[in-house]
Amino acid sequence: MFPVLLPTYNRTDIAFVRGEGSWLFAEDGKRYLDFGAGIAVNAFGHANPKLVAALTEQAGKLWHTSNLYRVPGQQSLAEKLVANSFADTVFFTNSGAEAAELAFKMARRYQYVSGHPERYQIISFEGAFHGRTLATIAATGNEKYLEGFGPKVQGFDQVPLEDLPALNRMIGPQTAALIIEPLQGEGGVRPVAPEFLRALRKICDDKGLLLIFDEIQTGIGRTGKLFAYEWLGIVPDIMCIAKAIGGGFPLGALLATAEAAKGMTVGTHGTTFGGNPLAMAVGNAALDLALAPGFLEHVGKVAGYLNQQLGALVAAHPAIFESVRGQGLMLGLKMKIPNTDFITAARQAGLVVLPAGDNVVRLLPPLTISESEVREGMELMNRAAATLESQKAAAQ
């Protein structure tokens, strides 16, 4: 019989039934320390009391009105995002891919109203991940995600990361925009050289292109700043966020300058659910947590500690790990053994960690994680590594 759930996931046979801060509890009562945070989503921990209160309070008042009416929570959340970023304007979506889709539409529309209807091409970079819709798989460019779903959406091309000559060869009279993650997530927690990102800004300025940052994973404090672009001394024209901004409630957003957004007039875009009162209640509360004094300092401090501990872990288990990379609480362990072997061993030890491309184990704990929880996590990772080493020794 065909599975009642479309079998597109290779799921681990665990059902979590409850969460509290950095901890998850499974059906069988087993407790896990969560270094995955639902893929960078539960940035404020599980069952955060402030987010629970915001959601339940709104749930008793009003769930949905459609975007035919003013939604006060959209106004306040947009004002806060604008006050704390490069952006002048915000559109709320339900997911990251929807924000990326809008970024593509906005970039083409910008060129169209600027007298360049011929500029439609969006250039992305190898190792990228921008989502699973038809346009975002075209931008992602990963053959695994494209196979059998052709024809590929037109107007998306990819060049190698940090290859300026290849980029300059690809840019032509048809180019509208570049899209990049300032730190690649799914691709393997691959950092991008700041000089390269700054060079993209200059190319876009010189050639009248828009620079789109996909901060769906890096956004809302993950790297130790509210947005990763803040480390660079440059700003994008358009930025996509999602994941952490809802703290676990489906919410994404597109942020843009007034100039980039100038073509998006009444009727050019819309959504039924995007920015609904429930999402806005949680989003406002989540952003308030991220903006609270000391929050980002905490992320920086605990991230520094985790990074240093991971360095020691790699040194202690040279047959298992190759190196540590990433920024803030978005860290990756490049593995010498299959990343899935380590993920399984860590889970058996009671720690949830995530896979990423390039044989990397990805660590994305809640941003609220404490130093003592990091210590517990390191203990569990050391134990998992030791188990794998003894298995390896026994097999020889």
Ligand X SMILES: *Cc1c(COP(=O)(O)O)cnc(C)c1O
Q: CB 326 → ligand X: shortest distance, Å? A: 13
Neighbours of 17 (CB within 10 A): 10
- Burial grade of 24 (CB within 10 A; 0-12, 13-18, 19 or more): buried
* Distance in Å from the first CA to the final CA of the chain: 42
Residue 130 touching ligand X (CB under 6 A): yes
C-alpha distances in Å from residue 174, one per residue of 16, 121, 263? 48, 6, 18
Q: Which is nearer to ligand X, 215 or 373 (CB)?
A: 215
| Window 173-192: residues binding ligand X (CB under 6 A) | 181, 185-186
- Rule CB under 6 A: say whether 121 interacts with ligand X: no
Q: Which is nearer to ligand X, 131 or 275 (CB)?
A: 131
Is the dihedral angle over the CA atoms 116, 120, 126, 131 positive or is it negative? positive
279 binds ligand X (CB under 6 A): no
Q: How far, in Å, CA of 173 to CA of 165, rounded? A: 17
In the bound state with ligand X, the residue whose beta carbon lies nearer, of 97 and 380, is 97
| CB within 8 Å of 378: residues ≥ 6 apart | 306, 309, 310, 313
Scan residues 203-262 and list those touching ligand X (CB under 6 A): 214, 216-217, 242-243
Among 58, 74, 85, 95, binds ligand X (CB under 6 A): 95
**272 DSSP 8-state letter:** S
Residue nearest to ligand X (CB): 96
Nearer to ligand X, 51 or 137 (CB): 137
The span from the CA of 331 to the CA of 389, in Å, is 23
Q: Does 129 bind ligand X (CB under 6 A)?
A: yes
> Shortest Cβ distance from residue 181 to ligand X (Å)?
5
The footprint of ligand X on this chain (CB under 6 A) covers a number of residues equal to 15
**Per-position x/- string for 55-94, each x denoting binding to ligand X as judged by CB under 6 A, each - no binding:** ----------------------------------------
Q: Which of 24, 33, 37, 97 binds ligand X (CB under 6 A)?
A: 97
366 binds ligand X (CB under 6 A): no
CA 140 to chain centre: 14
Locate 339 and state its tokens. Answer: 């990343």
Q: Looking at 128-136, 147-155, 229-237, 374-382, which segment touches ligand X (CB under 6 A)? A: 128-136
CB-nearer residue toward ligand X: 280 or 388: 280
Residue written as tokens 């439609």?
Answer: 120
- Return the closest-CA partner of residue 352 out of 341, 365, 335: 365
Residues that bind ligand X (CB under 6 A): 95-97, 100, 129-131, 181, 185-186, 214, 216-217, 242-243
